[in-house]
């Protein structure tokens, strides 16, 4: 029997804590770290299920025959069935026949068990969290692989079936690991997006501050120019009022109108600069508020990543352990 302790309730708690950690973005960082520490401690408790192999009496039809009873944890029944049929048909032209859930193949090739062809009778049962494979190997008529056939043949048959069961379990864990690794990649992608968003906010804030500075410099020059121009208009208006009606007064009026046009243009340009500054300051405020919020989100995302790395490592350890079965 191949045995490693498994506690299903621990796995359930492990997954619950992981989901809980992912949803507490407002929780204090210290509390999150405590949750992470709990998650990191879980792999030691969350082992893998055992593959069990027993020599047993197997019912085929109405009779009992010496054979083997093997459990394959967590495996998908349909996949195991497909792969078991494929394995039996490997190295022979014979095909597996199925009747009432019982499989049989005559002339199968299991070289490590017998140099001659053998007959295999088997059943695969779906038992919720595992698949149970019942196998009888007939060496020749009414002679089966059992303790009476010798330790070498018995051990070879057990190794053959164990390797099949292990390969099915390994495939399951590889799929589980791939799922968790994708979650980790997605989380890293989310962190990269947050980092890029912070960089854009910082760049926006910097550019908009430069805009404010540039526009303020322009406004300083234009306000001085506007002040001088307004004084000039006022002076020329006073001068025009004192002039007698005639060509000279008309010429002065024309000059004042041109100065008024220049003043309106300056006022419009100053207004545009004021709008740019107002909009830039709004953008700066938004960016300045976004950056600390982004920092907090990055902190939480890094904690999520650390927690998910612990999950991935759990499945790596699980895979490596099962490979040693």
Higher pLDDT, 48 or 201: 201
260 and 188 co-located in one domain: yes
Assess if residue 67 is contained within a domain. yes
What would the pLDDT profile of 6-33 be if each residue is shown by its tens digit? 333 444 444 545 555 445 444 555 455 5
Residue 136 has pLDDT above 60, yes or no: yes
Reported as a pLDDT band with limits 50, 70 and 90, residue 239 is confident
Of 221, 212, 205, 207, whose CA–CA distance to 285 is shortest? 205
pLDDT value at residue 19: 55
Q: Are residues 145 and 194 in the same domain?
A: no
* Co-location of 273 and 216 in the same domain: yes
Scored b (16 or more CB within 10 A) or e, 230-257 reads: eeebeeeeeebeeeeeeeeeeebeeebe
Averaged pLDDT for residues 289-294: 97
Six-digit token string for 265 = 């243009």
**Residue 317 falls within a domain, yes or no?**
yes
Domain membership flag for residue 2: no
Instruction: State both tokens at 199.
Output: 């960089």
Claim to verify: residue 63 and residue 19 sit in the same structural domain: no
Give the predicted TM-score (pTM) of the model.
0.74
| Residue 265 falls inside a structural domain | yes
3-state secondary structure 228-286: HHHHHHHHHHHHHHHCCCCHHHHHHHHHHHHHHHHHHHHHHHHHHHHHHHHHHHHHHHH
Residue 57 shares a structural domain with residue 39: no
Look up residue 63 and give its DSSP letter: E
Give the model's confidence band at 162: pLDDT under 50 very low, under 70 low, under 90 confident, else very high: very high
78-130 tens-digit pLDDT = 999 999 999 999 999 999 999 999 999 999 999 999 999 999 999 999 998 99
pLDDT beyond 70 at 210? yes
Mean of pLDDT values over 236-264: 90
- Please, where are the H alpha helices in 23-106? 29-41, 77-89
- Give the domain extent around 13: 8-44
> Is residue 35 within 8 Å of residue 20, measured between CB atoms?
yes
- Identify which has the larger pLDDT, 90 or 248: 90
**What's the confidence (pLDDT) of residue 15?**
54
Distance set, CA 59 to CA 66, 143, 153 (Å): 9, 16, 21
What pLDDT does residue 31 have? Answer: 56
| Cβ contact 89:105 at 8 Å | yes
Query: Considering the chain, what is the average pLDDT of its residues?
Result: 89
- Rg (Cα) of the chain, in Å, rounded? 41
Strands 130-140 and 53-60 turn out to be unpaired
Q: Domain check: are 238 and 135 in the same one?
A: no
Q: 3-7, 90-94, 190-194, 219-223 — which is least confidently predicted?
A: 3-7
Whether 156 is covered by a domain: the verdict is: no
DSSP string, 180-194: HHHHHHHHHHHHHHH
Number of compact structural domains in the chain: 3
- Dihedral of the alpha carbons of 199, 202, 207, 211, in degrees to the nearest 10: 160
CB 164 within 8 A of CB 99: no
pLDDT at 99: 95
CB 54 within 8 A of CB 69: yes
- Residue 92 falls within a domain, yes or no? yes
Assess whether 57 and 145 both reside in one domain.
yes
């Amino acid at each position: 029997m191949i045995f490693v302790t498994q506690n299903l309730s621990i796995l359930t708690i492990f997954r619950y804590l992981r989901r809980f950690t992912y949803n507490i973005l407002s929780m204090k960082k210290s509390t999150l770290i405590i949750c992470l520490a709990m998650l990191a401690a879980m792999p030691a408790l969350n082992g893998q299920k055992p593959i069990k192999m027993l020599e047993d009496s197997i019912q085929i039809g109405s009779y009992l025959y010496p054979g083997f009873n093997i459990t394959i944890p967590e495996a998908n029944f349909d996949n195991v069935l497909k792969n078991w049929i494929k394995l039996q048909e490997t190295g022979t032209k014979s095909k597996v026949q199925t009747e009432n859930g019982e499989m049989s193949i005559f002339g199968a090739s299991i070289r490590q068990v017998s140099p001659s062809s053998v007959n295999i009778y088997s059943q695969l049962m779906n038992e919720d969290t595992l698949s149970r494979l019942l196998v009888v190997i007939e060496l020749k008529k009414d002679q089966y692989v059992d303790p009476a056939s010798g330790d070498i043949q018995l051990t070879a048959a057990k190794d053959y079936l164990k390797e099949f069961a292990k390969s099915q379990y390994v495939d399951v864990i590889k799929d589980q690991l791939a799922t968790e690794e994708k979650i980790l990649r997605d989380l890293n992608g989310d962190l990269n997006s947050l980092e890029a968003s912070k960089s854009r906010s910082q760049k926006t804030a910097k550019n908009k501050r430069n805009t404010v500075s540039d526009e303020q410099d322009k406004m300083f020059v234009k306000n001085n120019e506007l002040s001088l121009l307004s004084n000039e208009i006022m002076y020329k208006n006073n001068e025009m009022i004192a002039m007698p009606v005639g060509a000279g007064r008309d010429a002065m009026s024309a000059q004042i109108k041109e100065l008024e046009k220049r003043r309106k243009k300056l006022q419009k340009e100053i207004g545009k600069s004021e709008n740019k500054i107002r909009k830039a300051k709004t953008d700066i405020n938004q960016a300045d508020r976004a950056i600390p919020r982004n920092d907090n989100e990055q902190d939480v995302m890094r904690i999520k990543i650390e927690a998910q790395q612990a999950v991935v490592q759990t499945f790596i350890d699980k895979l490596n352990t099962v490979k040693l079965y």
